[in-house]
């Protein structure tokens, strides 16, 4: 059975605007596909994800559809731009909505996200990736995801010079190599956890 990957890209720009977060998410999905893990990208800002911390905020809330895709996935990739040195408000909203999963438990009392793997990709025209990765890992781990070794990739340019990932002539070799490590380790860990779920308490 193949692994399923869901990439949530958290750009502030609705489709069809070009997005660096979207680009790196698609590059990672291509690498996942090479390893037999298929998936899709959801550009979160295209959907009306309401503020709140319940699984369904009612009345047109687009989160329940995204939530079903997360439930069906083995691996969650969160791809976010860097704004004022932080993850985007769209990425933070994803975390807030995922917070509801803490109280959703399976028949044996395990949080719903146990057994799923989370990885991160951060791009920016300014510094901030390590901090955003920290905030993502802490939140996603707390919600129940497992984080593989070297489970994050990122790009930003030289300080104060601007420049976007999608405007690079080619992806830097070091980023390509990091992308491959993220995917290789995520697939390995997701396969292990699918066959060997965490024990119940």
Q: Which of residues 13-52 bind its own copies (CB under 8 A)?
A: 13-14, 45, 51-52
Residue 84 contacts its own copies per CB under 8 A: yes
The only residue of 47, 86, 104, 105 in contact with its own copies, by rule CB under 8 A: 86
Q: What is the DSSP letter of 197?
A: P
Stretch that binds its own copies, among 20-28, 61-69, 70-78, 79-87 (CB under 8 A): 79-87
Question: Which phi and psi (to 5°) does residue 6 adopt?
Answer: -120, 125
Interacting residues with its own copies between 100 and 159 (CB under 8 A):
111, 113-115, 126-131, 133-135, 137-139, 141-152, 154-159
Q: Give whichever of 5 and 136 is closer to its own copies, judged by the CB atom.
A: 136
| Choices 1-9, 10-18, 19-27, 63-71 (CB under 8 A): range interacting with its own copies | 10-18
DSSP string, 27-78: HHHHHHHHTT-EEEEEEGGGS---SSSSS---TT-SHHHHHHHHHH-SEEEE
State the Cα–Cα distance between residues 92 and 84, nearest whole angstrom. 14
DSSP 8-state assignment for residue 144: T
């Amino acid at each position: 059975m193949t692994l399923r990957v869901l990439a949530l890209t958290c750009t502030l720009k609705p489709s069809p605007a070009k997005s660096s977060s979207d680009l790196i998410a698609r590059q990672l999905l291509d690498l996942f596909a090479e390893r037999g893990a298929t998936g899709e990208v959801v550009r979160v800002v295209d959907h009306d994800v309401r503020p709140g911390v319940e699984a369904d905020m009612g009345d047109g809330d687009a989160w329940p559809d995204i939530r079903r895709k997360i439930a069906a996935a083995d691996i969650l990739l969160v791809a976010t731009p860097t704004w004022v040195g932080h993850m985007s408000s769209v990425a933070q909203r994803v975390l807030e909505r995922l917070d509801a999963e803490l109280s959703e438990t399976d028949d044996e009392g395990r949080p719903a996200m146990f057994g799923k793997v989370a990885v991160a990709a951060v791009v920016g025209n300014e510094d901030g990736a390590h901090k955003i990765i920290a905030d993502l890992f802490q939140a996603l781990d707390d919600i129940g995801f497992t984080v593989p070794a070297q489970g994050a990739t990122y790009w930003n340019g030289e300080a104060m010079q601007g420049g976007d990932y999608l405007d690079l002539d080619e992806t830097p070799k070091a980023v390509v190599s990091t992308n491959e490590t993220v995917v290789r380790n995520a697939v390995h860990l997701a396969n292990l956890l699918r066959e060997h779920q965490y024990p119940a308490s």
